[in-house]
Amino acid sequence: MQPALATQPGFDLAGALAAACTARTRAFYLITPNNPDGFVLGADHLEAIADVARRRDLWVIADEVHADYVYDGEHRSIARLPGMADRTVSAYSLSKSHALAGLCVGYIAGPTALVAAARKVATHTVFNVPLVAQRYAARAIAEGDGRLAEARELP
């Protein structure tokens, strides 16, 4: 089922987000492109989210794992909008972008201090990405992986 902002023209996303915020709200969790329906937030949607985040001094946690699998529309990272790079952490997965399913290799991008803090947490919670997975991921990044083009093809 697609969200109201996808099915109702004129849906007031900024108003809905602002109304849902409380004094305890610290961040928005954003998934675009969405899995499994592939819905991609447009520029106007991202700007509405960014506007509320900037006005309320909120973080955005952007799950961009499926950024390489857009079939209709165009993926845009909210971190590229004015004033958003310093308040956005984006998560990516080589499992999706480089067809490395099962290796569980991913990364985050965001402000330096946030990434440093995340690294400290990961050191004590994610003890080890197997060396073979790290090497395979490094090779896939360096050489590219033709399987991605095949995976994008619709049956």
DSSP for 74-94 reads ----GGGSTTTGGGEEEEEEH
pLDDT digits (tens, 9 = 90+) for 90-130: 999 888 778 787 777 888 999 999 999 988 888 777 667 77
Q: What is the pLDDT of residue 5?
A: 74
Q: Name the residue range of residue 104's domain.
A: 4-152
| C-alpha to C-alpha distance for 125 and 113, rounded to whole angstroms | 19
pLDDT-derived band of residue 148, with 50, 70 and 90 as boundaries?
low
49-101 pLDDT, tens digit per residue, is 999 999 999 999 999 998 888 877 889 999 999 999 999 999 998 887 787 87
Q: Tell me, what's the pLDDT at 140?
A: 82
Query: For 83, left (φ over 0), alpha (ψ -120 to 50), or beta?
Result: left
Of 54, 74, 50, the residue nearest 64 (C-alpha): 74
Q: For 65-136, where are the E strands, in sequence order? A: 88-93, 106-109
Domain CATH number, residue 68: 3.40.640.10
pLDDT of residue 88: 98
Q: How many domains does the chain have?
A: 1
Q: pTM here? A: 0.81
